[in-house]
Structure formats: C-alpha cells, structure tokens
Amino acid sequence: MFFVYLLQSQQDQSFYIGYTTDLERRLSEHNEGLSRYTKVKRPWKLMYSEFFDTKSEALKREIFLKKQRNRVFYQSLADAGG
C-alpha cells in the first residue's frame, strides 16, 4: 500500500509532493524537520493524498504531479479533497 501526497507549507504556501507507505509517519517527519528539503518551510499541512496498490503506480503518479509545476493545478487537487 502506497500513498502519493501533496503538502502545503503554512509558512509560504508552497507545495511539496512525495510518496510513502506510512502517511502519518511521513507527515510527522516533514513537520519535525527530518526531511532536508522541507525542514525550512515548516509547518506542513496535508492537502491531498491518493492510495495505490503498487510502488510503480505511486511513483508514476508522483512524477506526473511533480511535472505539473502549477500552483493552480495543485490547489484544484486540494480543493477536490482526497
């Protein structure tokens, strides 16, 4: 079981996309400063997540989302829920 997730920095409203097998643990790691890229923009809020059966599916979705590089697109995902 794999999750692709979208976080939003509560400091500067930027977005971060990743994948994990444990969504709660990973969100905690981001907010505790244990992730090098995200530690300077804490705190983070989970805005959207999707579930996948395989790592391959999750990685494909993560790559697709990262290629969007579009704040409006990311916000539409967050608004849709997930």
For 38-72, how does the pLDDT look when each residue is reduced to its tens digit (9 = 90+)? 999 999 999 999 999 999 999 999 999 999 989 89
pTM exceeding 0.85: yes
Q: Which residues pair with 6 in a beta bridge?
A: 17, 48
Domain holding 46: CATH number? 3.40.1440.10
Residues 76 and 40: their CA atoms lie apart, in Å, by 25
Q: Which two tokens stand for residue 62?
A: 């993560």
- Domain span at 13: 2-80
User: What average pLDDT is seen over the chain?
Assistant: 95
pLDDT tens for 20-36 read 999 999 999 999 999 99
Classified as helix, coil or strand, 54 is: coil
Omega cis (within 30) before 43: yes
Residues 23 and 25: their CA atoms lie apart, in Å, by 6
**Number of separate domains in the chain:** 1
Classified as helix, coil or strand, 53 is: coil
